[in-house]
Structure 1
Amino acid sequence: MQYCHNPNCQQPVNPFGVEFCQSCGEKIKWLQDRYNIIQLLGRGEFSQTYLATDTQDRFGDCTIKQLIPTRKMQYSPEIFQTAKDTFKERARQLSQLPSHPQIGRVIDYFEEGNNLYLVREYIPGKNLKEEIENTGNFNEVKIWQLLQDLLPVLSLIHEANLIHGNLKPENIILRLNSDLVTHSYVLLDLEIPQVGLPHPNLAYAPIEQVRGSGFPASDLYSLGVCCARLLTGCFPEANEGDELYDGMEGTWLWRWLPGGKDVSPQLVEVLQGLLVETVKNRYQSAKQLLATIQTYQQQTEVLVGSTDQDSVEQRSPLPIVYPAIATNPNFPLDECSFRVVKVGHQGQQIDTTQHSAKFFTENLGEGINLDMVYIPGGTYQMGSPATEAGRFDSESPQHQVTVSPFFLGKFAVTQRQWEKIMQAKPSHFRGPDRPVEQVSWHEAVEFCQRLSQKTKKNYRLPTEAEWEYAAKAATTTPFCYGETLTTDLANYDGTQIYGSGSKGIYRRQTINVGNFPPNQFGLYEMHGNVWEWCADPWHENYEGAPTDSSIWSASSEEQYKVLRGGSCGNHPRFCRSSERGKGLADYWYYVIGFRVACS
């Protein structure tokens, strides 16, 4: 098969071997004696895009965008020359952008006949419009991921004094990587302006761009529109208007449509900040928006989530009773052996040692068990030293705490265990041996109360002092394994590093408990996978904290409870043993779970 590249040809597909197009009579040849057009990928009013073979690149595939002169250009050599100069300058700028896996690399640009051509690498995948047609609208998790994937790329483009100019779901490709888990969004079709071209796509462009001006904030506006459309599934239809936009009021309506009603206040604030009509009142740069998102992460210590009481399922709190700690259990204990891993500054394994721990197994029925590990009492330094990388002021002052013996779950509570006790399936990432998540603090307390009633033992959430003592397990390094963390040891955002560590896998989901080596107490996944609720209310720092392992009750922020350990979606700094997070007691999200303590 051969393809005629005359833009006006009605039947451009020709059999192999013909010299002239059988439809329009145009001579069929490779563009620049190099590019063999294979098929048409898409067509616009003044351009069309082809899939082609680059015969000088070991017959690799590429895309060719053909820009067709407007009627005004055809009758004015001066305008056409200005258009060609504009095209060549823009193409030159694009070709000089730093190499980046999320920007389609410019291979070539040229003029042939009366047409202009831009050649880019071919990136297989689905554009986001196709993606939601196949899998449904984006949820909040995917929107946050989209923002965090694309904002660094836009920042790179803007730092080169360029704007994308044509952001829409059709120009964002979802590329699935080889590990079938990690994906990245790839930006395509950076705008090549020409004199005489129509206004930008009115379904995505801000007013200043429609009137001929463009700023970095213009791209951010278009990105906000993309997010709103992906959340709601509302795309403009020819001759049917736009359900997402009220032209009379000049208002985007995504917040009141299905998909927009159930998002967190943080995402509402971000999208509303992107969709401001006045440029100066909008987010001004991709870096500014990324900093805002990171601030949200540090404040809540989780990725994102809904704390809007009008948009979350109401879950009734129960009264809470905390029994006194007993140091001598009145039931027999078993003993298990395990190996503990230590790593060096760069994450390399430098030692393994044999350890043992005492435990008992709670039989929940139907073959479902809960292992509780004996944590010996002791004294340790709670909080982090001022020299620890990535620490927060909330971890100060470091102070000595004496902990009484107690029992703590070997693993975070699993979905299998939760379903047995609570008869419910709240989790986002389903799997019987994955940690239960999307449970509020009140629900975790209710689980403990029901478990206590069933077993006649005193189950509860660990205090914050107990949790950190158990996580550190007689270590003084940021992690129980050493000075850094690797994705062979914990489930977190492996695209980020701590200290002198290296990048690893970003799984983007929870995994079964017991997958990683235990700490010296025999506890698993104290770093990453899911955040874990503690019994204490939140305090901004440790000023006035108790010196024993009791609950620190007095707080001006009683509505917030402590979260510890980090999650599958966090930077490793949030997975440190001393890291402190907080969440509203009614708050539930897909990276929040818990483990139980027993007196």
Structure 2
Amino acid sequence: MMKAFTILHVSILFLGYQTIIAQNDSIPTFKDCKNCPEMVIVPAGSVYIGSYEDEIGRKRGERDRVKATISEPFAMAKNEVTLAQYRVFMEETKYKSNQAYYKGEPLIGCNYYDGKSYGYVAEHNWKNPGYPQRETDPVVCVSWTDANAYAQWLSKKTGRVYRVPSAVEFEYASRAGSSTPWYWGTDPAEACGYANVGDRAFANKFPTRASFPCTDGYVFTTRVGRFKPNKFGLYDMVGNAWEWTSDCFQNDLSNAPVDGTAWTENENNECDARTPKGGSWISGISWARAAVRSRDGANYKSFMLGFRVAAKAEKN
């Protein structure tokens, strides 16, 4: 049966029984298969991205404030890809991850923090990041290459074009029309109602780390969607797990696109490093804001780094 839904002034047609449509509080969502991520239609519009020079926690190298405009609606996963969803991908494809290297030496396992220093642990992987996880927690210890492979698999499986979102798409979706450091406002003490971040519970275990002045109750990851969503109906756009974006890391963002496309060429026409965003359960105020960005190799794996997917709003 063919059904048409007029949403956000855009008529979107979904064909076939495999696409499941839901509307909750006027926010349209869909799922293309039983184990696929639930997707939210993000409306077109404009928002200022980047940070003010005097913004709380601002890091050197963050994008200066600039207006970003998304001309067409797109779909963003409501939640980070979960351990259970990633497991289906691994079981169906028997996918093998690329080897990461540092200064010519292989990095075996996944990066981990023991309270004193960071380092790769050979026994750690997406099944065992070094702490207990539920099947509904965000998968971590996955590289950008792994995330991209997952998106390509979803595309073949569903007939819709999925991708790892661009940095602009991610920040646009995270802000949900806001211009403040977080989608809930300017007060870091409110974070624990909206995000699993480095809080007082985290600080009890890692006392040398900076933390938010509140308690969310979780030291490591927790199930996706546990906290309040932003105005677009997206969860954990700050905290829980850092999330890969498709942009090559650029030192200078003065010429970076602001239309939602990913910047996939750097000075040497290579893309060895990508640009995670959003912060995680380990992140204090400086590292868990809408404007923040990190730099990690495309094959790098970390116990705090996962992803979510974006997609076209319409199937081809």
Q: Is the 8 A contact 2:81 2:309 kept in 1?
A: yes
Offset of 1:394 from its aligned partner?
A: 1.9
2:24 corresponds to which of 329, 333, 336: 336
1:520 corresponds in structure 2 to: 231
Q: Does 1:417 align with 2:123?
A: no
1:360 corresponds to which of 4, 25, 30: 30
2:187 corresponds in structure 1 to: 484
1:548 corresponds in structure 2 to: 259
Distance 2:149 2:12 in 1: 23
Instruction: Identify the structure with the greater helix proportion.
Output: 1
1:426 corresponds in structure 2 to: 126
1:578 corresponds in structure 2 to: 291
Distance 1:374 1:576 in 2: 23
Offset of 1:566 from its aligned partner?
A: 0.5
1:301 corresponds in structure 2 to: none
Q: Is the 8 A contact 1:493 1:506 kept in 2?
A: no
Distance 1:510 1:547 in 2: 31
Q: Is the 8 A contact 1:393 1:541 kept in 2?
A: no
Task: Give secondary structure in 2 for the equivalent of 1:478.
Answer: coil
Question: Counterpart amino acid of 1:529?
Answer: N
Offset of 1:413 from its aligned partner?
A: 0.3
1:494 corresponds in structure 2 to: 199
- Structure 1, 543-552 or 438-447: larger mean CA deviation: 543-552
Runs of 5+ consecutive residues of structure 2 not aligned to the other structure: 1-9, 16-20, 95-124, 201-209
2:65 corresponds in structure 1 to: 398
Task: Give secondary structure in 1 for the equivalent of 2:243.
Answer: strand
Distance 2:153 2:11 in 1: 23
Offset of 1:369 from its aligned partner?
A: 4.5
Runs of 5+ consecutive residues of structure 1 not aligned to the other structure: 1-326, 338-355
Distance 1:433 1:497 in 2: 25
Deviation per CA, 1:102-124: give whole Å up to 9, x if none.
xxxxxxxxxxxxxxxxxxxxxxx
Offset of 1:507 from its aligned partner?
A: 2.9
Deviation per CA, 1:347-396: give whole Å up to 9, x if none.
xxxxxxxxx311112223xxx35210000011111211112111123223
1:457 corresponds to which of 149, 152, 160: 160
Distance 2:53 2:263 in 1: 23
Greater C-alpha Rg: 1
Q: Is the 8 A contact 1:359 1:372 kept in 2?
A: yes
2:245 corresponds in structure 1 to: 534
Greater relative contact order: 1 or 2 (C-alpha under 8 angstroms, separation 6 or more)? 2
Quick one: structure 1 residues 328 and 461, their matched pair in 2 at CA, closer, same or farther if it must change by over 3 Å? farther
Question: Counterpart amino acid of 2:13?
Answer: N
Number of residue pairs aligned between Structure 1 and Structure 2? 249
Task: Give secondary structure in 2 for the equivalent of 1:487.
Answer: helix
* RMSD value, Cα: 1.9
2:44 corresponds in structure 1 to: 377
Question: Counterpart amino acid of 1:489?
Answer: Y
Distance 1:521 1:577 in 2: 14
Could you state the TM-score of these two structures normalised by the residue count of structure 1? 0.40
Question: Counterpart amino acid of 1:570?
Answer: S
Q: Is the 8 A contact 1:397 1:541 kept in 2?
A: no
Offset of 1:488 from its aligned partner?
A: 3.1
Could you state the TM-score of these two structures normalised by the residue count of structure 2? 0.74
Offset of 1:553 from its aligned partner?
A: 2.1
Question: Counterpart amino acid of 2:52?
Answer: P
Distance 1:547 1:497 in 2: 31
- Structure 1, 460-469 or 385-394: larger mean CA deviation: 385-394
Deviation per CA, 1:115-150: give whole Å up to 9, x if none.
xxxxxxxxxxxxxxxxxxxxxxxxxxxxxxxxxxxx
